[in-house]
């Protein structure tokens, strides 16, 4: 149920970190670790399961909004989580290489087949 602003002692700006402010440029983070960082906690801080669920709920849309400034890596294990990090100049090389590699038919990936 909505509450009137007058019911609160104070309101604050809804500011969030930018990836460059949050991440170490040489590190990759899981979504739960990103959630902790967004709350000013260490990535490995102990939190109860209910708190972790809320942190993940905050982290997922933040990752989506900031995706242009980030890179993603496959899980280190088959059943492990994905990792996200700050995009740097060297990271774009892998993306452009993947786009120009031939696929199983010998066509370049990302090529327009209607041409």
What's the CA gap between 48 and 53, in Å, rounded? Answer: 9
Whether this prediction's pTM lies above 0.85 is answered by no
Q: Which regions in the chain score pLDDT beneath 70? A: 92-115
Each residue's pLDDT tens digit, 83-108: 999 999 877 554 444 444 455 555 55
Q: Please give the pLDDT value at position 108.
A: 52
pLDDT score for 84: 96
In angstroms and rounded to an integer, the radius of gyration of the C-alpha atoms of the chain is: 19
9, 13, 14, 18 alpha-carbon torsion, rounded to 10°: -140
């Amino acid at each position: 149920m909505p509450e009137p602003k007058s019911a609160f002692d104070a309101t604050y700006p809804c500011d969030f970190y930018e990836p460059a402010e949050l991440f170490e440029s040489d590190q990759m983070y899981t979504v739960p670790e990103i959630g902790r960082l967004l709350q000013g906690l260490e990535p490995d801080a102990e939190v109860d399961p209910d708190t972790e669920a809320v942190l993940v709920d905050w982290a997922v849309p933040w990752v989506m909004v900031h995706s242009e400034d980030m890179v993603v890596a496959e899980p280190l294990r088959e059943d492990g989580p994905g990792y996200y990090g700050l995009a740097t100049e060297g990271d774009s090389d892998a993306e452009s290489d993947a786009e120009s590699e031939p696929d199983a038919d010998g066509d370049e990936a990302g090529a327009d087949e209607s041409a």
